[in-house]
Amino acid sequence: MRLEATQSLVNLADESEFWVDETGMLGIDALEQRQARLPFRLRHVDQPHLIDGKALWLRFDVRMEDTSVRWQLELPLAGVDLATLYYRDDQGHWVVQRAGDSLPLRAWPQAGRYPVFSLSNTPQKTTRYFLQIIHARVPFSAGLQIVSDSRMTTQHEKEQFFLGAYFGLAALVVVLAAANALAFRDSGFGSYAVYVALLAAAQAAFTGVAAQYLWPGYPQLSNAGVFFLPLMAAATGMWFVRTVTTPRQFSPALDRFVLALVGLLVAAGLIDVLFPTSEGFAVTNTLLTGSMLVMLSVIVLSVFEGDRDARWVALGFLPVMIAAMFPLLRNFGLISSGFLTEYGLTLGSAIETPILFYGLHRRLSVRREAQARARALSQTDPLTGLAHARILLLRLQGALVRAVRYHHQSGLLLVNLSNHGALLREHGGEAAERSLVLAASRLRAVARDVDTAARVGDHQFALLIEGPTTLQETQDIAMHAVARGLRESDILPGGASLKFHIAITMLPAGALDAQTLLARLQDELRQMEPDARKTIRVASFGAPPGAESPGPAFS
């Protein structure tokens, strides 16, 4: 194979030969001496090799036509246990370069996410290279390539940018999800934060980022992380799905099965770290596949049962489940390594993360709105939306205290819908209920933002006018309320209107407390005839000296 300055990348597919040393013990000198008798065969890029306990040898010849370009041999697959490149220099001595997860990063010829080796720069000479691959449990099927320095630098910069963007997004989402979990005590956001963190950690181990930046001096962590962290990500993913979809509502047995599978994934991961075997790796891959199917089943069941939250979970998990199939199929030896086996899950999780976050935000908003409505129902009348009588009493007592303390007056209107009974008899219960809703709306229209409108009886309402105010201003509000009530409305039967009778008093009202004052004002209303022409009555319950006199009643 010739390397010329016009080239920048050469794939070694169909340019290299391979042989598997079943013992894994043959050295480079013995290999060189016996290579003519060894059954080397042409290697194709899509040819996976399960070499657990063995050694894969590759050989290829390269002739440099131009030494102005420096060339590197790339093995673009993170997680390789050990790769060793051999070739003889001009003096005939072996040049040896080693890289892989079994070595600390400082021992690599070039620090990075995956092995990179420098080729001989001797011009016009054909050099034979031998590459030994030792790789346990996972089938090896990476495509080797020879790249120029400039192309490799550009390529690595693009990869680092892509991975940096993904991990930056994951970190931001984890922080925001954790903040939402703490602020709103939401278990969905809490489990989601843990899931995204572990999924990102699994991707960091799988792509070699963790070995490059997090534990460059501890190669033993790299191998363990590649197998352990995906299991933990799957376990927390199942826990997240369980938290959001609550399978217990469909079947307690299904919920227990999901919990058991979560525990089994954690246990399998711990056992695999302590006792790594090929059989254990096959079991963990089967568990991962099974957990994906169970998650998919729970999500589909929730969507089928009408759970709106589950639709966003399904949409978010779909790209991850599709992308996860590529490394799983590679682990089973069914497909070869490539871009999708290496970066597919990273792409899938980058798409998944914002979708799930948005779905959780919608879920939280709906739940908070429901909680707010529940809290509001404890303080408001469900038919009219006005405050309950007990809320009015609390605010009325506060207004009495402020009126005495600050020497000003507040006003209290008690409003009776005097023709409610007639509407009920003539037009039925629906029209009577509509009249109450309309009455509440008309009262709110004359109230200020600081005032309190409340329903205090079947067809009685109260309006607390916060001070400082005067009797005249309070009477004006009462007259406006009466006038608004007389206006016709489309929600009432034709020709019908609201007839208000209003009793007014000014605060403070002697030594009366809120409950007594409200009862006394109700007595004043009962003394008014249903067909009385005078619809507004002003009552005085021992106003303090200097207070403005009540004045005449208004019709």
Token readout for 116 is: 């990179």
Residue for token pair 């010829």: 109
Please say if the pLDDT value at position 331 is more than 70: yes
Domain boundaries, the chain: 2-143, 152-376, 389-538
How does pLDDT run across 415-467, given as a tens digit for each residue? Answer: 999 999 889 888 899 999 999 999 999 999 999 888 999 999 999 999 999 98
Residue 554: what pLDDT? Answer: 33
Secondary structure class of 418 (helix, strand, coil): coil
Q: How far is CA 110 from CA 85, 97, 105, in A?
A: 13, 10, 8
Please say if the pLDDT value at position 373 is more than 70: no
Residue 504: what pLDDT? Answer: 94
Residue 289: what pLDDT? Answer: 92
How does pLDDT run across 178-213, given as a tens digit for each residue? Answer: 999 999 889 999 999 999 999 999 999 999 999 999
Type and span of the H or E element at 248? none
CB 412, CB 396: distance < 8 Å: yes
- Quote the longest CA-to-CA distance of the chain: 125
Which segments of 305-338 does DSSP mark as H helices, in order?
308-331
Mean pLDDT of 263-290: 91
User: For the CA atoms of 283, 287, 293, 296, what is the dihedral angle to 10 degrees?
Assistant: -160
Class of the CATH-defined domain 2-143: mainly beta
Please say if the pLDDT value at position 548 is more than 50: no
CB 485, CB 497: distance < 8 Å: yes
Neighbour order of strands in the sheet with 536-538: 452-455, 460-465, 410-417, 500-507, 536-538
Taking phi first (over 0 means left), then psi (-120 to 50 degrees means alpha), and beta for anything else, what does residue 80 get? beta
Type and span of the H or E element at 377? helix 339-377
Task: Please report, as a single letter, which amino acid is at residue 212.
Answer: Q
DSSP 8-state assignment for residue 37: T
Residue 477: what pLDDT? Answer: 94
Split at pLDDT 50, 70, 90, the class of 46 is low
152-376 — its CATH code?
Answer: 1.20.1070
Q: Which residues contact 73 (CB under 8 A, 6 or more apart)?
A: 85, 116, 117, 118, 119, 129, 131, 144, 145, 146
Q: Which residues contact 140 (CB under 8 A, 6 or more apart)?
A: 48, 49, 50, 51, 56, 77, 80, 133, 337
Split at pLDDT 50, 70, 90, the class of 547 is very low
Distance CA 323, CA 6 (A): 36
How does pLDDT run across 58-75, given as a tens digit for each residue? Answer: 999 998 877 788 899 999
How does pLDDT run across 503-525, given as a tens digit for each residue? Answer: 999 998 777 888 999 999 999 88
Domain with residues 389-538, CATH architecture: 2-Layer Sandwich (3.30)
Q: How far is CA 371 from CA 188, 365, 385, in A?
A: 16, 10, 16
Token readout for 282 is: 């096959």
Task: Please report, as a single letter, which amino acid is at residue 26.
Answer: L
Nearest one of 288, 348, 346 to 315, comparing CA atoms:
348
Residue 131: what pLDDT? Answer: 96
Task: Please report, as a single letter, which amino acid is at residue 47.
Answer: Q
pLDDT above 70: percentage of residues in the chain? 95
Residue 551: what pLDDT? Answer: 37
Residue 546: what pLDDT? Answer: 42
Go through 24-62 and write b for each residue having 16 or more CB atoms within 10 A of its CB, e for each that does not. eebeeeebeeeeeeeeeeebebeebbbbbebbbbbbbeb
Mean pLDDT across the chain, nearest whole number?
Answer: 89
CB 209, CB 79: distance < 8 Å: no
Q: What is the DSSP string of 437-470?
A: HHHHHHHHHHS-TTSEEEE-SSSEEEEEE-SS--
How does pLDDT run across 93-150, given as a tens digit for each residue? Answer: 999 999 999 999 999 999 999 999 999 988 888 999 999 999 988 888 888 999 998 8
Nearest one of 86, 88, 63 to 1, comparing CA atoms:
63
Residue 116: what pLDDT? Answer: 95
Type and span of the H or E element at 530? none
Token readout for 294 is: 């169970």
Sign of torsion over alpha carbons 149, 150, 152, 157: positive
Split at pLDDT 50, 70, 90, the class of 376 is low
Distance CA 459, CA 449 (A): 23
Residue 545: what pLDDT? Answer: 40
Q: Which residues contact 429 (CB under 8 A, 6 or more apart)?
A: none
Please say if the pLDDT value at position 282 is more than 60: yes
Q: What are phi and psi of 100, to 5 degrees?
A: 150, 170
Nearest one of 366, 237, 239, 368 to 307, comparing CA atoms:
366
Residue 309: what pLDDT? Answer: 77
Taking phi first (over 0 means left), then psi (-120 to 50 degrees means alpha), and beta for anything else, what does residue 100 get? left
Nearest one of 446, 444, 464 to 393, comparing CA atoms:
464
Distance CA 217, CA 229 (A): 19
Residue 542: what pLDDT? Answer: 60
Go through 298-325 and write b for each residue having 16 or more CB atoms within 10 A of its CB, e for each that does not. bbebbbeeebebbebbbbbbbbbbebbb
For 254-263, 295-304, 361-370, which range has the lowest pLDDT when averaged over its residues? 361-370
* Cα 535 → chain centroid: 59
Distance CA 478, CA 269 (A): 75
Nearest one of 377, 442, 382, 447 to 412, comparing CA atoms:
447
Residue 227: CB atoms within 10 A of its CB come to 23
Residue 161: CB atoms within 10 A of its CB come to 10
pLDDT above 90: percentage of residues in the chain? 55
Mean pLDDT of 380-392: 88
Split at pLDDT 50, 70, 90, the class of 555 is very low
Secondary structure class of 38 (helix, strand, coil): coil
Residue 138: what pLDDT? Answer: 87
Distance CA 471, CA 419 (A): 27
Task: Please report, as a single letter, which amino acid is at residue 493.
Answer: P
